[in-house]
Structure formats: C-alpha cells, structure tokens
Structure 1
Amino acid sequence: MGLGSPGALRAAVGCGLYLALLAVLSAGTAALLRSPVASLGLLIPLLCFVAPILGSDSAIQPVTRFLPDAAGQQILHTVRDDGLAPWTGLAVLALWAAAVACAGWRVMERRDA
C-alpha cells in the first residue's frame, strides 16, 4: 500500500491529526484533574479498554462509537466500516478535545488565578 492507494493519504494525514487531538485531550484532562496519576488513571482505561470492550455489544455500539478513541480512529481506516465517516469521527474527537481543553482552561483560571 502506498500513498496513491485509495484513502491512504487521508489516513496518513489523519494519523497526525488524531495524535495531536489526543494530546490536546490529555493535556486538558491533566489540567482539569491537576494530577498526572489521576489523568492517566482516567484516560488509559477510557482510551484503551472501554470502547473495545463495550463496542462488541450491539446494544451499546451506537453510543460507544461516539467515544473519543472510537470516533477518532475512523480516520485511520482506509476502508469504511459501520462506524462514523472518517472526517466525522475526527470532528467528534475534536469536540471532545475542545470541551476538555476548555474545561481545563477554565478550572486553571479559577483555581490558579
């Protein structure tokens, strides 16, 4: 597979965007919780375990596809599955990241003013 393959360039560019948005999500969570251990304790299970475990259940799958990792990973696939569209999934991840970053900013403004 090369960059000329269908969806490969989108997946390559999307991978960088996906990782950048995960970094913003993580930084916002760390600012919100003010503890690296607490933010890792929340993010690792959320990003690594919740969506894959709950995503296999067909009754919960319509909800789990909107979790940050499951939505953002749609950009990485060159063939579309039954989830969100690639750019829609990245937009959902961007909304999660923006919401958490704004919440972290607000908490830091109030707490550390």
Structure 2
Amino acid sequence: MASFPAVLRSEWTKIRSVRSTVWTLALTFVVTVLVGGLLSLLTRSNFDEFHKEGTPFDATGTAFSGILLGELAIIVFGVLAIGNEYSSGMIRVSLAAVPQRGTLLTGKAVVLGALALAVSLVTAFVAFFVGQAILGSHSTGLGEPDVLRAVFGAALYLTMLCLFSAGVTTMLHNQTLALGVLVPFFFLLSPILSAVPGARTVARYFPDYAGSRMLLVYQEHSQPYGPWAGFFLCLAWTVAALAGGALVLKNRDA
C-alpha cells in the first residue's frame, strides 16, 4: 500500500516529466498576459470608444481580457495531465502501484490543483499589473474596493477549471474525447445558449459564466448573481466532476 506522500511525489514526477503539460501551463501564462496587455493598450488608445459615459470603467476586467484563451490552455493542461496515462497505458502501472483508486485520484487532484493554483496566481497578478501599467491614467490599484478579490477570483477560477477538466477526463478515460466534449461546451454551447433568450437562464449557471462573475469588480442590477455565488457554483461543478471521475475510476477497468 503506497503512502499518500509517495503518491504525491509520483504524480509530481509524472507531470513535470511530460513536456506537453509543462508547455500548456506556460501557454496559460503567456496568452493571458499578452492578450490582456494588447487589449489594455487598445482600450487606452481608444478609451472614449470603449467606455460608455456614466458607467464605471473596469480596469481589472480589461487586464483580464486574455483569460478566455488562458481558459483553453488550462483546460488542455487538465486533460493532458490525466489523459496521457490512459493513452499510454501507464494508468495500469499506476493502479498496480496504488490499488486504492480513491487515493490515486486524490493525489492527482492535489498535485494538479496546487500546480494550477501556483501558475494561476502568478498569471493573474502579472496580467493585472501589466494591464494597469499600460492603461496609465485609466488604471486601478489592488487597494481599491473588490479589486484584490477579483484578482484572486481569476486565479481560483482557472484552478477550478483545470480540476473540472481533470475530473471529466477521468470519467471519459480518453483525452481526445474529453477535449471533444470540453472545448465545444465552453466555447460553443455556452456562448450560443447565452445568446438564446429561452436558454439564457440555464447558461448562466454553467461554470464559465459563474467563473466570469468571480472576476467582477462592479456589479450591475441586471446580473443574476455576484462573485461569491459564482465561486460556489464553480466549486460545485468542480466537485461534481471529480466525484464523477472517482466513481468511474472505482467501478470501471482501466
């Protein structure tokens, strides 16, 4: 019976030894910061066109404009971190070394979550400071109301998105199939339903919309719920995906 610290060390070794997972984490940082910086520059150059008179300007949200592409990269990271073992057949070796399947998945989730959180925190803070530096006189600071909470919210959202993707991949046992489900769900189905009046209410409780609430600094009355409700909704989706993954892993052969 493998001890839990040994499981953690093993999972850490697996992740850092696979180039694709390292590159997707690096890509999460690069695209989020780069796109956020470019859109901050564009906003500063055309401020009057981008800002409606009479409404507060969300400098934090502008700096996080690149998080949509960061979402894609962190989803791919979560899928590859789990799916590589299934595609290579190494999952059988892992299960032989750690027969306690719940312990194995918990170890994977802890290592993935810790790594994703570390990268997401660096990404969120760097994206924020780069965006504010570019926005110049239109910038805001961490000391302003709800700004620091929004920065941490961005990091937590990316982390939960990674774990959600890992849970879905564990359920499906296939990284290609997982990407085939997750990418259309987040980047096609959710935006399409959000644009349809009859389905808009349902789409508002999807994890991507809930996550976007976590980044809010200014809340409008038309919004169905705020940042904390968004956090708990995202958390519920993440826990459900991991629980589903644990159930499938326990009852299905590798």
% identical equivalent positions: 35
Highest relative contact order (Cα 8 Å, sep 6+), 1 or 2?
Answer: 1
Cα offset for 1:46?
Answer: 1.0
- Aligned partners of 1:57, 1:6: CA distance in 2, in Å? 33
Report deviation, 1:109. Answer: 1.2
Greater gyration radius: 2
TM-score (norm 1): 0.91
Amino acid corresponding to residue 205 of structure 2 in structure 1: F
The equivalent of 1:53 in structure 2 is 192
Which whole-Å CA distance do the structure 1 matches of 2:208 and 2:250 have between them?
Answer: 28
2:215 matched to 1:76? yes
* Structure 1 runs (4+) greater than 3 angstroms displaced: none
Paired residues of 1:11 and 1:75 also in contact (CA < 8 A): yes
Which segments of 5 or more consecutive residues in structure 2 lack a partner in the other structure? 1-139
Report Cα offsets for 1:61-112 as digits up to 9, x if no partner: 2111001111121001211241321110111111111011001011111124
Root mean square deviation of aligned Cα: 1.4
Is 1:10 the counterpart of 2:149? The answer is: yes
The TM-score with structure 2 as length reference comes to 0.42
- Residues 1-113 of structure 1: pairs in structure 2 closer than 5 A: 1-81=140-220, 82-112=223-253
Question: Does structure 2 retain, via aligned residues, the 8 Å contact 1:65–1:84?
Answer: no
2: CA distance between counterparts of 1:17 and 1:83?
21
Secondary structure of the structure 1 residue equivalent to 2:152 = helix
Q: Structure 2: which amino acid aligns with 1:101?
A: L
